[in-house]
Structure 1
Amino acid sequence: MPDSYRFMPLPLVGLTHAPQLPSVQRTARPHDPAVTLFTDLHHSACVVAGHHDGLDQTLHLMMRAGVRMVFVSGADGSLIGMVSAEDIQGERPVLHAATRRVSHHELTIADVMVPLSQWPTVDMSVVRTSRLGDIAATLRDHGLRYLLVTQQKNGQTVLRGLFSARRLEMAMNITIEPGLHARTFAELEHDLAHH
């Protein structure tokens, strides 16, 4: 093997004190390419919870993984839904527990997830030519907190990645959906009384 192809170990340096963790201060503008804030599942870990997992167990999984949304797998391991921290901590579990007359601890992720059939998606070919403002407008107009991106590969639809409203809001310093959780407790009680 020629010397130009030899690899050399890098010099290592010991730490004398604890290093600071980096803080991500990602800022973006509406005209920036959409891919700048795209979470590509080819390069990011995909967090999956089982459909029979409990709500508290799944929240704990989210905290450990540092995410606010997980995909849900069925008994055979295939994707059947997705659930966000907002879904678990919002009104959905309260309404479902009241309707079924069960305690909150008896609910599973399958009870509060958004099923696969209700996932609005966009194709990666569209994302490649889109801007962040287009993504924000899509999230706002459709009342979404996550926009899932699919791609055609070998004749099959593959989940490629996603956009998070929270990530866009933080980077662009905007509010994508004011009032998403603005329902009053009186409205919640009204819904409970009529189920």
Structure 2
Amino acid sequence: MPVRQGFKPLDLVSLSQAPSLPRVARIARPDDPALSLITDLHHGPCVVASHLDNLPQTLHLMMRAGVRMVFVSGADGKLVGMATAEDIQGERPVLRASRHQMPHHELTLADVMTPVHLWETVDLHSVRHACLGDVAATLKEHGLRYLIVTQRKGQELTLRGLFSARRLELAMQTAIEPDLHSRSFAELEQVLAH
């Protein structure tokens, strides 16, 4: 296919007032394709913080980025976990500081994050054939607020995207509450500790 020649610049317009920031308010139905509400990390940046970042610093980063979850990288830059606003502002840091007899302000993301080996993920292939109701049911059954989507490319497993329970709740205008009846006592204790 030949490369087009003769590109011309677009017309620019001066602003008389500041534009408002965009708000994504999508209405969705449970039978809509799951991919319609995925946060596809191939088409947008993901927010990554260092495992050594302190909690106030990370909350500030999250507020500026407009997110409620960050991925956490280790000293080598590789993914080691994730942390949510609830992890940072909830009981977890208070308990951790108390247990280790250290000041709250000295806690880092490494102290409150959910390490990669504890993640429950879904493969992109499954998501391609699912609807939003399936994703909501998965979040509910496993007591998750985020469903991480991975993709296998040859031998490499890559982070592809994620679903946020909050985003699904807003779009489908319904609450996604964890199904605590299907969990063992150990799992229930873990849910309550978050």
Category of TM-score, reference length = shorter chain = 0.7 to 0.9
Do residues 138 (structure 1) and 138 (structure 2) align? yes
Matches within 5 A, 1:105-184: 105-177=105-177
Distance change (3 Å), C-alpha of 1:120 and 1:178 = closer
2:140/2:179 contact within 8 Å kept: no
31-40 vs 20-29, which deviates more?
A: 20-29
Matches within 5 A, 1:88-107: 88-107=88-107
- Structure 1 length normalisation: TM-score? 0.87
What is the CA distance between 1:108 and its match in structure 2?
Answer: 0.8
Q: What is the CA deviation profile of residues 82-130 of structure 1, one whole-angstrom value per residue up to 9, with x for unaligned ones?
A: 0000100111111111111111111111000000100100000000010
- Alpha-carbon distance between aligned partners in 2 of 1:179 and 1:111, rounded to the nearest angstrom: 27
- Alpha-carbon distance between aligned partners in 2 of 1:110 and 1:88, rounded to the nearest angstrom: 11
> Could you tell me which residue of structure 2 aligns to residue 84 of structure 1?
84
- Structure 2 length normalisation: TM-score? 0.87
2:144/2:178 contact within 8 Å kept: no
Q: What is the CA deviation profile of residues 127-172 of structure 1, one whole-angstrom value per residue up to 9, with x for unaligned ones?
A: 0010000000000000001000000113211010100001001111
The SS at the match of 2:94 is: helix
The SS at the match of 2:80 is: strand
Do residues 61 (structure 1) and 54 (structure 2) align? no
What is the CA distance between 1:5 and its match in structure 2?
Answer: 3.5
Aligned residues: CA RMSD: 1.9
Do residues 6 (structure 1) and 6 (structure 2) align? yes
What is the CA distance between 1:15 and its match in structure 2?
Answer: 1.8
2:141/2:179 contact within 8 Å kept: no
Amino acid at match of 1:167: R
What is the CA distance between 1:22 and its match in structure 2?
Answer: 3.3
Amino acid at match of 1:57: Q
Do residues 47 (structure 1) and 47 (structure 2) align? yes
The SS at the match of 1:5 is: coil
> Could you tell me which residue of structure 2 aligns to residue 186 of structure 1?
none
- Alpha-carbon distance between aligned partners in 1 of 2:71 and 2:41, rounded to the nearest angstrom: 12
- Alpha-carbon distance between aligned partners in 2 of 1:179 and 1:126, rounded to the nearest angstrom: 22
Specify every segment of 5 or more residues in structure 2 that has no aligned partner in the other structure, as ranges.
181-191
